[in-house]
Amino acid sequence: MKGIIFGNGYMGNRMFNYFKEQEGFDFKLSDLRVDSYHQNELDNLLREELDNLQDREEPYFVINAIGKTHGPGVPSIDWCEDNMKETWGSNVTAVCLLANACGIQNPNPYLVHLSSGCIYYGNNFTEEDKPNFVGEQFYADTKRVAEEALLTYYKDKSLILRIRMPIDDHPNERNLIDKLKEYDNVIDKPNSMTVIPDALPVIKKLIEEEETGIYNLVNPGIISAAVIMKMYRDIVNPNHEFSIMSLDELNKITTSKRSNCTLNTDKLKSKGIFMPDIIDSVERCLYKYKRHIYH
Ligand SMILES: NC(=O)c1ccc[n+]([C@@H]2O[C@H](COP(=O)([O-])OP(=O)(O)OC[C@H]3O[C@@H](n4cnc5c(N)ncnc54)[C@H](OP(=O)(O)O)[C@@H]3O)[C@@H](O)[C@H]2O)c1
């Protein structure tokens, strides 16, 4: 399987390093800025990659891990509220430019797009449900619009993966564990979340099967920030202190409202894909995380 990953950040590198180790996968990581200024460069790059395929019937994958989720000095999506031009450019325009570039190639590559479950507020949303967290948060709005754009223009060859609050088994500033441990106060609202070491083999399987459409790429079950921090205190750092705050208190200190939601995982299960339960998986992550920080 050949492909190219755009977005040289946390998820782009996580996927690149994972696929590097997988037999039969040859995925590159591109540094190209995907903006209208570079559209010709992008078109030519994809054409060259497709020309290099030994067999024109072989599928080719473009993976979009580009995005603005935070920015200098503001490690949260609140940055997007004050930097709408940049956020729109990365979260919407870049997706459309990638779809443009894919659309003019022959054969058309698959476009795997990292979306987010934060387009919902409430419980048990399936892939078919219409987003209902609308006009409350600019980041969520851009992720919804990008999905709509792909489903309108490049539906037949797009795979849209909705991830939420990525949790990883080693320290990284984008890992939810690292973010939460910096907060004095966290909320206790159950949510769906994505454990990245569980999600990577699922991405591999969906790619191998040339799946298209939307998938809720979250672990089954629910967990809250407060539960994660209690587990962190039990497993990693017994001296860690934090308090629980209400959603109203959180809303007072953030610029934009936060999405709290749970996503239905039946579609993945119906494909024979079973991610581990979120509580068990977070526990395993924390034990590995502890080994990383103490060795
Ligand atoms: N992390 C999360 O909590 C989360 C949750 C759900 C979904 N997602 C989605 O997953 C995707 C990847 O997020 P991430 O966590 O890996 O974020 P990240 O670490 O900030 O990586 C995003 C990368 O995209 C790059 N980028 C931005 N605009 C670009 C452009 N026009 N052309 C090329 N590269 C560009 C950024 O570079 P610069 O910083 O130099 O601009 C950065 O390297 C995003 O679409 C995000 O919405 C993330």
**86 CA to middle of ligand 1, Å?**
12
Most informative mutation of 4, 5, 6, 10 for ligand 1 (most atoms within 8 A of CB): 10
3-state DSSP of the chain: CEEEEECCCHHHHHHHHHHHCCCCCEEEEECCCCCHHHHHHHHHHHHHHHHCCCCCCCCEEEEECCCCCCECCECCCHHHHHCHHHHHHHHHHHHHHHHHHHHCCCCCCEEEEEEEHHHCCEEEECCCCCCCCCCCCHHHHHHHHHHHHHHHHCHHHEEEEEECCCECCCCCCCCHHHHHCCCCEEECCCECCCEHHHHHHHHHHHHHCCCCEEEECCCCCCECHHHHHHHHHHHCCCCCCCEEECHHHHHHHCCCCCCCEEECCHHHHHCCCCCCCHHHHHHHHHHHHHHHHHC
Report, as an integer, the average pLDDT of 242-271.
Answer: 95
192 CB within 6 A, ligand 1: no
Reply yes or no on whether the pLDDT at 169 is more than 80. Answer: yes
Q: What rounded mean pLDDT belongs to the chain?
A: 97
Task: Give the Cα separation of 103 and 95 in Å (integer).
Answer: 12
Please report the atom of ligand 1 found closest to the CA of residue 12: 16
**How many angstroms is it from 23 CA to the middle of ligand 1?**
26
CA within 13 Å, CB half, 189 = 17
72 alpha carbon to ligand 1 midpoint, in Å?
13
Give pLDDT, residue 123.
98
Q: Residue 294 pLDDT > 90, yes or no?
A: no
**Structure token pair of residue 67:** 């995005």
Instruction: Return the residue whose CA atom lies nearest to atom 44 of ligand 1.
Output: 67
C-beta of 142 in contact with ligand 1 (< 6 A): no
Ordered structural domains, the chain, with CATH:
2-167+194-220+260-276 (3.40.50.720)
The Å distance, Cα 238 to ligand 1 centre, comes to 33
> pLDDT for 127-168, tens place per residue?
999 999 999 999 999 999 999 999 999 999 999 999 999 999
**How remote is the C-alpha of 161 from its chain's centroid?**
7
Tens-digit pLDDT profile for residues 54-111: 888 899 999 999 999 999 999 899 999 999 999 999 999 999 999 999 999 999 999 9
Q: How far apart are CA 148 and CA 288, in angstroms?
A: 38
| Ligand 1 and 262: CB distance under 6 A | no
Ligand 1 center–CA 54 separation, angstroms: 31
Indicate if ligand 1 lies below 6 Å from the C-beta of 33: yes
**Which atom in ligand 1 lies closest to the alpha carbon of residue 165?**
3
How much is the average pLDDT of 19-27?
A: 97
pLDDT of 295 strictly over 80: no
pLDDT at 88: 98
Q: Band of the pLDDT at 113, cuts 50, 70, 90?
A: very high
pLDDT tens string 226-254: 999 999 999 999 999 999 999 999 999 99
